[in-house]
Amino acid sequence: MSKIIRTTSTIQDKFISISWRIATICNYNCSYCGDPKIKPFKDYEGFFNFVEDVKKKYPDKEVILQLLGGEVTIWNKFVEFLTKCNEKSIKISVITNGSPSVEWWKKNIDKMTYVLISYHYEHSSKKHFREIAPIVRHKASILLMTPPDKFDEIIEFGKQLSSECKIVVVPKFILDVDGKPYPYTDEQLDFFQKNIEFGLKYFNANNKIANNPKIFAEYDNGDVTKITHKQIILNEYNKLKGWRCFGGLESFFINHDGDVFVGLCGRGKLGNIYKRNVFFPDEPFICDVDYCKCMQEFTAAKKEIGVKNDQT
């Protein structure tokens, strides 16, 4: 049976990807969220200095930022930060729980390149999502956080929301602290394995590489196939301990204290944006964790050590 020996993504061709967990404070307290919610927001000036260094290192590529929380929209400098990113031609992708008001979304949606809005059944209002979805649909997708015991109810809401508001809705399984799915039934896991999403015909093709990068797997028999985030987790393609990770060469992760790493795993520290001491490695990092727990990790290539004819 053939096995995967490397993964790549389309985002690498044009972009350097930066993920920044700006804080861990949130206005929700979901039972399945592991964040401690105690790290406050800081200033952003160190970030733009870092971006200038990245652009000097990679002058032929654009910078795309994925801003993570906590909940980023409760940051009192969030809109100001978006405006500055726009001025500096930084594409910005935001993950949010969608809680700001309808009027807020009307004023600010076009400051972002792409928005992934998570529906959290314990706190989110179905009425609110029906109100904001028509406003954001040209820039956003809805991510349905779908626990096993609420599966049917949330999936039905996702179908209705997509049909009524003409927006892409993506059901998402929930992971435990070890990066493995909750105890779903075989039928539920089969649903996720089939990558069922609602309203894909409504997806805006503008900036498609940045908004929806494709991930490819190369096998030891020479075959190359497209794989999805769901398949990576459910088939355990994210078990890459001992592989070469090209985070730090093709992407970066910044934590709430400004420390820069090769990935969201917090490995391979490269410096700190506030101290302006970040260095850029020349070699890939050798993965030393059991699982890649976050799909942003796969914006950077992963290669098994000893791959035949591999020059890197």
Q: What is the CATH number of the domain that holds 23?
A: 3.20.20
| Total domains, the chain | 1
250 in a domain, yes or no?
A: yes
172 in a domain, yes or no?
A: yes
Backbone angles phi, psi at 210, to 5 degrees: -70, -40
Q: How far is Cα 238 from Cα 295, in angstroms, rounded to an integer?
A: 9
- Identify the residue with better confidence: 312 or 197: 197
- Asked whether 198 and 168 are in contact (CB, 8 A), the reply is yes
pLDDT surpasses 80 at 228: no
310 in a domain, yes or no?
A: no
The mean pLDDT value for 116-145 works out to 95
- Confidence category of residue 32, pLDDT binned at 50, 70, 90: confident
Q: According to the model, what pLDDT value does residue 296 have?
A: 65
183 in a domain, yes or no?
A: yes
The mean pLDDT value for 261-282 works out to 93
- Confidence category of residue 256, pLDDT binned at 50, 70, 90: very high
Q: According to the model, what pLDDT value does residue 209 have?
A: 44
pLDDT surpasses 80 at 44: yes
Long-range contacts of 74-81 (CB under 8 A, 24+ apart): 74/25, 74/26, 74/27, 75/22, 75/23, 75/41, 76/41, 77/41, 77/43, 77/44, 79/108, 79/111, 81/44
List all residues 6 or more positions away from 16 whose beta carbon is below 8 Å from its beta carbon.
Answer: 54, 58, 61, 62, 63, 64, 250, 251, 252
Q: Tell me which residue of 176, 210, 164 sits closest to 66, measured CA to CA.
A: 210
- Identify the residue with better confidence: 240 or 2: 240
104 in a domain, yes or no?
A: yes
Q: How far is Cα 49 from Cα 124, in angstroms, rounded to an integer?
A: 36
The mean pLDDT value for 270-284 works out to 95
- Convert 33-48 to b/e letters by CB count within 10 Å (16 or more is b): bebebebebbebebbb
- Confidence category of residue 309, pLDDT binned at 50, 70, 90: very low
Q: According to the model, what pLDDT value does residue 39 have?
A: 85
Q: Which of 13-22, 193-202, 288-297 has the highest mean pLDDT?
A: 13-22
pLDDT surpasses 50 at 207: no
158 in a domain, yes or no?
A: yes
pLDDT surpasses 50 at 26: yes
246 in a domain, yes or no?
A: yes
Full strand arrangement of the beta sheet holding 114-119? 168-172, 140-145, 114-119, 91-96, 62-68, 15-21, 251-254, 259-261, 271-272
Q: According to the model, what pLDDT value does residue 180 have?
A: 78
Range of the domain at 34: 4-303
309 in a domain, yes or no?
A: no
Q: According to the model, what pLDDT value does residue 206 have?
A: 46
Using one digit for the tens of pLDDT, what is the confidence trace for 45-66?
899 999 999 999 999 999 999 9
